[in-house]
Chain A
Amino acid sequence: MTATASSAATSGVADDRPYLEVDDLRVQFKTEDGIVRAVDGISFALPRGRTLGIVGESGSGKSVTSLTVMGLHNAARTRITGSIKLDGREIVGLDDEQVRRMRGRDVAMIFQDPLSALHPYYTIGKQISEAYLVHHPGRKAEARKRAIEMLDRVGIPQPKKRADQYPHEFSGGMRQRAMIAMALVNDPSLLIADEPTTALDVTVQAQILDLLEDLQREFNSAIIMITHDLGVVSQVADEVMVMYGGHAIEFGSVEQVLRSPQHPYAWGLLQSVPSLRGNAEEDLDPIPGSPPSLINLPSGCAFHPRCAYKMVGGGPCDLEVPELLPTADAGHVVACHLPENERRRVYEEEIKLGAAQ
């Protein structure tokens, strides 16, 4: 799939310039308990036709990152610094109205739970046409036609009839398809999918991912796939960013991150995924300990309290924040104090046997 997607990216659009460029993005919320540093200096770039997977346990800042790209945070209580460029245009600091015009037209989003994400009192058709009408004012009949077309395109049978039904009359999978239809109705260049399959059962999950891949090929859009499921990432992503405590701690192609991960946290994620380990439900190893508080992140490497390989006691892990540094493999970057050859050795000798395939 990667091959198809990347060829689409090079052939579909004239320029190879990334559509989305995020640079040193920081997002902080002021709360009564203190400042939540939900995203703390992440950078990535994503061209059209490519998919970036963002993985991490819950609370690692994945959703905050995506909502920031959508401009959906309450400006009064959120501090955003760094840069987010969409097609070369800076959106951090842009006024509300201008960001609003881009939302749903240039960037669209689908959410985890399609039942709560759809309005219970409006028909599916109305909700999709509304998404079209905001950006194409006054074209009512056309909007309805588009809605039915999109429902058909995402594989909903009898789209004309279904358009007049309410969300509660749809099954979970059909609702997510409708959600996708709504997101794609304006043909956005970037689609952000925040855990789009987490609430669905496994067969439906696979269908939805297939559908997204199909649509990506057709529309040549960039996709950010947010998930805590490495199985999903391995199926759809070209690049992967692993997040921990608001930081990116490993970044690379899907082969690099899933076949030869170098960060101990990524190893932990890999070992806690059942789908990558066949039917080994009984010997799953969840990462011990719990995700850190983003108000009071552990010193040094935020993962050190949970890390089996930490070097502490004069060592760097509890004192210095590890930087995201290149490895011998071009494009693969890792933030860990362990020397690279040591990381490769540990992965090959201790981790690989248990995980993957």
Chain B
Amino acid sequence: MIRYLIKRLVLAVLAMVAVSVLTFLLFFAVPTSPAYVMCGKQCTAHDIAQTEQRLGLDQPIVVQYADFMKGIVAGRTYGSGELAVHCDAPCLGFSFRTNEPVTSILARTVPATTSIVVGATVIQLVVGVGLGMVSALRRGTAFDRAAVGTSLVGASMQIYFFGPILLLLLVYQLHVLPTPGYTSPLADPGMWFEQMLLPWLTLGFLNSAIFARLSRAQMLETLAEDFVRTARAKGLSRWRVYARHALRAAITPIVTTAGLYLGAALGGAVITETVFGVNGLGRASVDAVNQLNLPVVMATVLLAAFFIIVMNVVVDMLYSVIDPRVRLG
């Protein structure tokens, strides 16, 4: 078990390094010099050279990578003398366009995104998995058919279609909800909840459809397993057979999917934030791309990759808790 975990962590770190190298290389493939973009309209060759120097863009790529990594660990200073800007550790780059370290942008936007993703995930697990399980147990009934039909519609629905309809209806027509946005739950938990509700419902319900279908299929498959028949042959009550024997086995692949789906939920969050005008990481990175604000784009790509890798490790660990064959193998 310990050896398995160590192996898994080492792999995760290696993956992280590989992703950072790749991301770095990718940004060198961008045809425009970041310095040129930052410099604005009237820019002399001298200005560009100066900016490039400040950013360290005149250094060989290996040195730049080393500087970047060092910045994460120890912070770094861009330029020298009067123009010098300092970026505290962990420094993920500096946004000259907005004149702040990238980490400040992240600190401002990550809470909103986290709120959306976590809330939507809770909904998709409770509603989606619950619906799927119940319809598997009531297979062939009216409930099952309704659930299957609804989830089919939900799974093929898009946020940018469903979102605006809800927005129009609940916010602008019926006025039951405030305009979505982000208020810190520490400052005003009620407001936080009300403003987040729409993004949660939209993203959560659409993802629920996928989880309902997955859970239903998984549960039906498990119910046909020999060990479920054994459990019934022992004389266990129906409820116990479902909860202790079938559910326990069916939940494993659902956990995996849920973990990996958090990565996809990040993607969903980008669209959700755009649709509802929430200032989150997704929106910040879309803005950064539009403005070719490369340090920000790069930091968000790295952050997303980091998040997905961490989720993979978490899923593997959960897996080993659930399945003794992994734990002991």
Contact = CB atoms under 8 A, between A and B. Distances in A.
Given A103-B235, A135-B235, A169-B328, A121 B249 contact: yes
Interface string B309-329: 000000000000011110011
A-B residue pairs, 3 tightest by C-beta: A104-B235, A103-B235, A116-B226
A23 interface: no
B17 to A, nearest CB: 35
Interface string B234-275: 111110100001001100000000000000000000000000
Nearest to B237: A100
A70 interface: yes
Contacts of A121: 248-249, 322-324
A187 interface: no
A130 B234 CA distance: 8
Contact of B227 (A102, A119, A169): A119
B54 interface: no
A46 interface: no
A103 B232 contact: yes
Interface of A: 70, 72, 96, 100-105, 108-109, 111, 113, 116-121, 130-131, 134-135, 166, 168-169, 182
Given A116-B226, A117-B227, A119-B245, A166 B324 contact: yes
B230 A119 contact: yes
A119 B231 contact: yes
A168 B234 CA distance: 21
B227 A103 contact: no
B230 A103 contact: no
Contacts of B236: 100, 104, 130, 134
A269 to B, nearest CB: 26
Contact of A166 (B231, B232, B235, B328): B328
Contacts of B325: 120, 166, 168
B229 interface: yes
B233 interface: yes
Interface in B186-228: 225-227
B318 to A, nearest CB: 13
B324 A134 contact: no
Nearest to A169: B328
Interface of B: 225-227, 229-238, 240, 245, 248-249, 322-325, 328-329
Contacts of A109: 233
B39 to A, nearest CB: 61
A131 B229 CA distance: 13
**Interface class of chain B by DSSP:** helix
A169 B324 CA distance: 10
A335 B234 CA distance: 36
Contacts of B225: 116
B192 to A, nearest CB: 39
A274 B226 CA distance: 29
A105 B235 contact: yes
A102 B225 CA distance: 22
B242 to A, nearest CB: 13
Contacts of B322: 121
Contact of B234 (A96, A116, A120, A182): A182
A104 B234 CA distance: 4
Contacts of B232: 72, 103
Contacts of A113: 226
B230 A120 contact: no
B233 A103 contact: yes
B328 A111 contact: no
B203 to A, nearest CB: 32
Given A119-B249, A121-B248, A101 B235 contact: yes
B40 to A, nearest CB: 62
Contacts of B329: 168
Given A111-B230, A120-B249, 16 more contacts: A100-B235, A103-B233, A104-B234, A104-B236, A108-B233, A108-B234, A109-B233, A111-B229, A116-B225, A116-B226, A117-B226, A119-B227, A119-B231, A121-B324, A168-B324, A182-B234
A120 B324 contact: yes
A116 B245 CA distance: 13
Contact of B233 (A72, A116, A120): A72
Contacts of A103: 232-235
A280 B220 CA distance: 45
Nearest to A183: B233
A105 B233 CA distance: 10
A72 B235 CA distance: 10
A32 to B, nearest CB: 12
Nearest to B324: A166
Nearest to B228: A119
26 contacts: A70-B233, A72-B233, A96-B238, A100-B235, A101-B235, A103-B232, A103-B233, A103-B234, A104-B233, A104-B235, A105-B235, A108-B233, A116-B226, A119-B231, A119-B249, A120-B227, A120-B249, A120-B325, A121-B248, A130-B234, A134-B234, A134-B237, A134-B240, A166-B324, A168-B328, A169-B328
**Most chain A C-beta atoms within 10 Å of own C-beta, residue among B229, B231, B235, B328:** B235
Contacts of B328: 166, 168-169
B229 A117 contact: yes
Contacts of B324: 120-121, 166, 168
A102 B234 CA distance: 9
B223 to A, nearest CB: 10
**Most chain A C-beta atoms within 10 Å of own C-beta, residue among B234, B238, B248, B322:** B234
